[in-house]
Structure 1
């Protein structure tokens, strides 16, 4: 039976600051890979992205948004009409139902605009805490932290913000990330998890924070840093 690796030690304050200095230098203006032009388009794209890739969502929204990119326009399509544009995405039936229901609330209660408050966002069908955090951060510039599987993995592996569930990791990230980096931290961490600190085989030899990371099972490559 394979022995489980020990839980990584927590990353110290100086290492955390150095980590984000390097990530910021490597990618000064990080952005989501979802394509959007308005807060509503972002809300729809993030809702569609659950258990789907950003590439797949972008392919669907490139067809959808030129035809309907407001709550009223998507309501006019109707649930069956919307499905025709998003049928390539996993769980499209449930997602179409949620998007239509959310559009109805946006039209009836918010004048067709996406609210900037967490409580109002989380009242929309298909919008949980993670989706609300993405919209608040990316569309409205609020320093929130949306913890997906990539960020959860990076936070635990590196020792940046270890936690047993996504809410614990979220709370610890908000406490531990230096304030000047908090607005962009969500994008840096998700991109790092997606392209470097990958689930099955992390690319430790090419990781710019390898020497700061507390992960005990780094993949082999160049010698460890100081």
Structure 2
């Protein structure tokens, strides 16, 4: 039996599905199917990486292994090689060029401007998902938009996106034998409450499991 970090991956996956990020990317950047991954799937994985563990976009496969990326997104970590990421980012950058206008800003202190433009296309949907999650939690909490349990003193505060991801970051996925369903480990009520107000059923991700 082993464990993987789950964190807010199911929530990120659900909001990426609602926004149809993979479908939009694949529609704009066709022909990206390679090694069982489309450009849209790669961008989804990169957005999840930005939300869970912001770091330089290299060795993303190494990041994905201890996280439940394969169980949530159906993407094997070995497929997220630096070469595959570069090809997806290059494809996105070619379409990003179509949107450049009079407000285009020239990046500085970088070797390749086109790569910065592609990275912006990853950061933007990541920020969009981050803000949507914060907005939905606040709206679901009613007029006061506050909840308790986010701080040790249990005072009621307005949740921020950073707080939400921090508390969902406690979730882990316990993987048993081949015939057993993975089990989500929830030790406190705050993550469960957040999943409820986010209307995210972790039983409807791309892997079957039981809440433990």
Bigger radius of gyration among the two: 1
TM-score (norm 2): 0.29
* Structure with the higher strand share, 1 or 2: 2
